[in-house]
Amino acid sequence: MPRTVRDVVFVDGVRTPFGKAGPKGIYHETRADDLVVKAIRELLRRNPDLDPAKIDEVAIAATTQIGDQGLTLGRTAGILAGLPQSVPGYSIDRMCAGALTAVTAVAGGVAFGAYDVALAGGVEHMGRHPMGEGVDPNPRFVSEKMVDESALFMGMTAENLHDRYPAITKLRADEYAVRSQEKAAKAYADGKIQQDLVPISVRNTNAEVGETGWGLVTSDEPMRPGTTLENLAGLKTPFRTHGRVTAGNAAGLNDGATAAIIASEDFARENNLPVKMRLVAYSFAGVEPEVMGYGPIPATEKALAQAGLTIDDIGLFEINEAFAVQVLAFLEHYGIADDDARVNQYGGAIAFGHPLASSGVRLMTQLARQFEEQPHVRYGLTTMCVGFGMGATVVWENPHFNAEGDSK
């Protein structure tokens, strides 16, 4: 019996505030799975018309799937969050695009008719589980020259991308980073970010005085709103002597979690759930691992072709800022100005942080908020580079689009 592909929508998304990884970070004493649980519970609280028993799947991504990020997170976090035991779940790993892949994976199930509604998200506790912990890359990668050794180190791949785009100087990268911090600070000041944050109670120990206390985390820890070009100019370039990539023009090492509700549009309407975005197309692409940051370019070309759109049809961009050079390479390729108003209107990962597998849904929640505020925009996209040479792009349609406004 032939099946009809169903329209898939982004119902809602939330995230924890992002923290700095390490002993001084806000989540040093907090479990990774507990961050996911908080996000799922908040989604259910915000959407009381969603019967938890109707949830067909829970897909949660993590890059380092060991310890409190192991044990099939989608299943275990669902049970911990109080979902009925009849709700299944699983884990996903596509490094930085983990949560994005969780969304597209369940979206495929919704479109096919296997699911009506699912939860998708990701978590990364880089303080507990540094990237690459416990992995054993096959020595053939380097010994047989399948990839250059730099492919195993993300910062080195960013330096390689600078080499490929010599016009993208360190100054341009630093200027972009300053704008990211400024836009994020403005978004906070305007109340654009807090609406989708889940307050997290945390236990911290003051090692100096031997005291333990509890606090409530309500904002992102990595942000540096007062950043200036002068501040960034003197930072070290740890990946290459006299290089161009610094801690100031790249995302840091972070902890955090995200979660979203993905459903068929019919199910959402019938169950009185919001429809914040409509999925148009998605695509993944592989590139040379040595220039991992190039990945969003071919992924976007594929997704736009699927959608029958061009880059000129896109009115809003949410590009993950793993490194400033990676965003700038994307903009350079498409002839978009470094400071184009359509790009990362609320700032990006350079300011907020990038807890690897969780970041894809952060991009989506920010785009959904912008769609709501800007009904003259019809299409937007979320895109990111992915470790070991990949890119991922999702094209979204604004359900609030008003055709009487700007056709973009």
Our measurement of the distance from residue 225's CA atom to the centroid of its chain's CA atoms, rounded to an integer in Å, reads 21
223: tokens are 């942000």
Note if 376 is an active site residue.
no
Residues 103, 96 contacting (CB under 8 angstroms): no
Distance CA 72, CA 65 (A): 8
Residues 389, 291 contacting (CB under 8 angstroms): yes
Q: Which of 125, 162, 385, 400 is catalytic?
A: 385
CA end-to-end span of the chain: 38
Return all residues near 132 (Cβ < 8 A) that are at least 6 apart: 64, 152
> Distance of CA 376 to CAs 191, 335, 372, 401, Å?
21, 22, 10, 6
Distance CA 314, CA 267 (A): 27
Pairing of strands 211-217, 200-206: antiparallel
Note if 385 is an active site residue.
yes
Which stretches of 289-364 are assigned E, i.e. beta strand? 314-319
Which stretches of 207-298 are assigned E, i.e. beta strand? 211-217, 254-264, 277-286
Distance CA 364, CA 366 (A): 5
Cβ neighbours of 127 (radius 10 Å): 23
Question: 147-164: string of b/e by CB count within 10 Å (b at 16+)?
Answer: bbebbbebbbbbbbbbee
- Side-chain half-sphere CA neighbours of 31 within 13 A: 13
2: tokens are 């032939």
Q: Which of 28, 129, 162, 354 is catalytic?
A: 354
Give the residue carrying structure tokens 């979690």: 257
- DSSP string over 115-176: -SEEEEEEEEETTTS-TTTT----THHHHTTSS-GGGG-HHHHHHHHHHH-TTS-HHHHHHH
Amino acid symbol at 40: I
Give the residue carrying structure tokens 């359509």: 342
Distance CA 139, CA 131 (A): 18
Q: Which of 96, 125, 129, 162 is catalytic?
A: 96
Provide the 8-state DSSP code for 50.
S
Residues with a known catalytic role: 96, 354, 385
